[in-house]
Structure 1
């Protein structure tokens, strides 16, 4: 039996059967992680869960600041070289020290993970060379000036070269190689159900306050609320608007809420001459893809009453979104006008585009992935239908939906994005798809706009914050004039918890993590 296997068995025997106590935290979350491999799927629920066990070099705080994590600091050596100094007190859960070799191994592994539905490659592609200065210092070289490297590295959790050299995604999912540097140690993973963790008593900042952490996926909003009220969990995320009044009136419950750095949008495929699920009203194929016409995309955007959508449909748990980048995002363009709610104007645009009687379409989306996603998709379908675009709605479980969206099986789908950096939002969602450059990693409809790409080339090489944000704001104007995506709302993130047990720091990045929870004293 290997040392690593003995370590895992001993930990499970020592901590796995501990009863629920005051310092045992039980989370009820809306989605289950799709994998324990920290480089397999760039998904919020995966990242926020795995960051208990694994850590990046740098960290994005709740207020958006980038701070050291495994790195103790960094500096710019020249326009294309960053030097990172590693903390010397970091130990993996098996006792081995963190070295520069582990970081070099990790950065090389990220682009090689097979079958990923959402790669992390965007965050490492700017790195064209790595120089090891010593065991705790390394220099990362980029092809051109690149100001976002410390921020990008917040997304890359660092592995152990010794433990993970030949590890597969299946090895992580089995728990065999779940050895990180984080404040919690891995106990077990039940796919689509739960993750169990235990405090790391040897953590460099001291043992965390929770002895054990149970992260349980409860996908139905009502079931999560019922579990909290019954005392089966201590805290739940993604509180629906329909539960707010009840929770506010219950003295046993405490709420924590914050506007999220989020965007919910519809993504039309205007890139192909023919697309699936678009026909005339008799079900016959159309001679051309109507979504390729910006007038059609703009008409669909104008059909939606975003204020009613946010206030009534989502019961105040969202704000209207009129561009991709919200007010708290770097690069937000305050000069862009709001998208008008104008059904009559939308019908005129359809007629100008050659569709006076509209057409028929089926729109798709995940279910249970973001708050009220199925309800939002139904509402979008009703708005489209009112201007003559007869719309059917199909929702699918996320494990079915995302591979199909990536394979371009849909003409239009509902998506979401969370992030405070406008450059990353545009680079991931709308720059021309290029695995070599790490661009368009989530550009599932393969939108392409040379003007946008040119602006992003310049922005990503601009070290001056003010000048870069002007370029990003101009890029935002370009994509909104083209209505590349149809923004819907920016959501709020709300957690509910037992008032006698948990206090929580809400995150605009919608993180549900034990590190943001504190026992009530």
Structure 2
């Protein structure tokens, strides 16, 4: 009888259905500009690529530093840090992660060609990397760097053996070099359309619950909503503002929201003698740049009805910005009053600056980069026009916008920045640009203000936290007083998903990632 019993067992096993795969489909607003993890230090790249590649450390959704490819960081003295690396990690092709890969990665970071914004600030102070043993490296810095623990959450680590000398960004985007140590592996990518990743079965950490994750890139909010309502996707980001109440009432869906560390701002061309998109009332180019006059920049700030924008345009899903730092940012300026809205004073300042009849201006910004970005641009243009600056709007895809902004093609453009620190956006966006030192990689208008730079530079090398706070706030006040950048609103981040399928841990830095999605038990 035994052979017949065995045969029956085999047949039953063959007939049993395979375990169902857990797949996740996410509709995201903004695609990555490339799959090279060092090409563009921006949210829409990082949130996707951190699933495939990993840094030494990671900031979680509570702004706590968590170990990834490194297990610990210890300061030996103000110029020397010891990093203990994780053992047993392999890249997706089986190549082991080694200490030398850290040195290789940090050397590559400042050299990536055609980057809109490099990770150079994260490695700017490191002067030498010494391998003490296979799991221990010593980082030596040219000056004290209190931000190094945060900096090491930046650049994802590549492999010297896998990625080789001078790897091309195009080879990452094609998938050939999209090989990391992360919990998901590259499967396929169609630029601006979709990215597919699969679970890494050999991941060093806990296994992810999703077998396959598909990101569909749908820039239109209404189209993302339609995909969710029809069941085509399981999760969407940047829920359209007007649809939040509707989804709150629909039992099929759950909303996942959090106050973000993201602030939207305007970057005026304040440093050049002439600027390309400023004209007189007859449409002729102005002989001098009006935005170089602080009074004009202050007039523009006074023209912005920030509270009305937050309450009416954003339906309460934003807050009026009072400075160039998020509400929870460390060392932000305390107890500031709201930035004033005073169109009459704005017109008086324009007349004082030599523009009693105002002038014409074009403002540029993204379409499909954050909720309501095109509507916000229109609202800003109307506000400036009422104050005497006849303003037109031109919206662009994010990748095009940032490429042109880096080339200094705009007079005024709108974007956003996310950070848990006050010092970080200033050193990245407002500090006088210096590629060798890694200062100002996002300073696309080449703003320069010694009253801000001097205390900021000292703060960046001051280990005493109390002294660093004083210096950071001194720099922040100088930037605010000069109106070198014009803060508008602080965003609130909202995702929506199928209630019976998943939960989502909302990210204050706007990361839409499978790493934050978990199946409903």
State the TM-score, normalizing by the size of structure 1.
0.95
Partner of 1:403: 403
SS in 2 for 1:144: coil
Partner of 1:482: 482
Partner of 1:132: 131
SS in 1 for 2:307: helix
Is 2:238 the counterpart of 1:238?
Answer: yes
Partners of 2:397 and 2:274 in 1: CA distance: 26
Partner of 1:417: 417
Is 2:367 the counterpart of 1:364?
Answer: no
Is 2:377 the counterpart of 1:381?
Answer: no
Aligned pairs for 1:294-313 (under 5 A) are: 294-313=294-313
Partner of 1:436: 436
Partner of 2:37: 38
Partner of 2:28: 29
SS in 2 for 1:295: helix
Q: Which moved more, 1:263-272 or 1:22-31?
A: 22-31
Q: Which segments of 5 or more consecutive residues in structure 1 lack a partner in the other structure?
A: 1-18
Partners of 1:216 and 1:465 in 2: CA distance: 43
CA displacement 1:455-501 (0-9 Å, x = unmatched): 11110111122321221111110000000111110111000000000
Aligned pairs for 1:172-251 (under 5 A) are: 172-251=172-251
Partner of 1:6: none
Is 2:434 the counterpart of 1:445?
Answer: no
Larger radius of gyration: 2
Partner of 1:293: 293
Partner of 2:101: 102
Partners of 1:299 and 1:443 in 2: CA distance: 22
CA displacement 1:98-153 (0-9 Å, x = unmatched): 11111111111111111111211121111111111111111111111101112111
SS in 2 for 1:155: coil
Partners of 2:150 and 2:19 in 1: CA distance: 37
Partners of 2:58 and 2:98 in 1: CA distance: 18
Partners of 1:225 and 1:142 in 2: CA distance: 49
1:189 deviates by 1.0
CA displacement 1:389-448 (0-9 Å, x = unmatched): 111111112232211111111110111111112211000111001001101101011000
SS in 1 for 2:288: coil
Partners of 1:456 and 1:304 in 2: CA distance: 28
Partners of 2:285 and 2:29 in 1: CA distance: 39
SS in 2 for 1:446: coil
* Contact 1:268–1:291 (CA under 8 A) maintained in structure 2: yes
* Contact 1:39–1:156 (CA under 8 A) maintained in structure 2: yes
Segments of 4+ moved more than 3 angstroms: 19-22
Partners of 1:337 and 1:269 in 2: CA distance: 26
CA displacement 1:293-344 (0-9 Å, x = unmatched): 1111011101111111011111111110021012211121014332111111
SS in 1 for 2:72: strand
Aligned residue pair count: 503
Partner of 1:7: none
* Contact 2:363–2:392 (CA under 8 A) maintained in structure 1: yes
Partners of 1:206 and 1:492 in 2: CA distance: 30
SS in 1 for 2:310: helix
Partner of 2:3: none
* Contact 2:326–2:419 (CA under 8 A) maintained in structure 1: no
SS in 1 for 2:360: strand
1:95 deviates by 2.1
SS in 2 for 1:276: coil
Partner of 1:160: 159
SS in 2 for 1:260: strand
* Contact 1:22–1:501 (CA under 8 A) maintained in structure 2: no
Partner of 1:115: 114
Indicate the RMSD between aligned Cα atoms, in angstroms.
Answer: 1.4
SS in 2 for 1:73: strand
Partners of 1:175 and 1:378 in 2: CA distance: 39
Partners of 1:467 and 1:225 in 2: CA distance: 48
Partners of 1:194 and 1:470 in 2: CA distance: 46
CA displacement 1:162-183 (0-9 Å, x = unmatched): 1001321111111112211111
Q: Which segments of 5 or more consecutive residues in structure 2 lack a partner in the other structure?
A: 1-17
Partners of 1:274 and 1:192 in 2: CA distance: 35
Partner of 1:459: 459
1:21 deviates by 5.7
Partners of 1:177 and 1:397 in 2: CA distance: 26
* Contact 1:336–1:477 (CA under 8 A) maintained in structure 2: no
CA displacement 1:248-276 (0-9 Å, x = unmatched): 11110000000110111111111001101
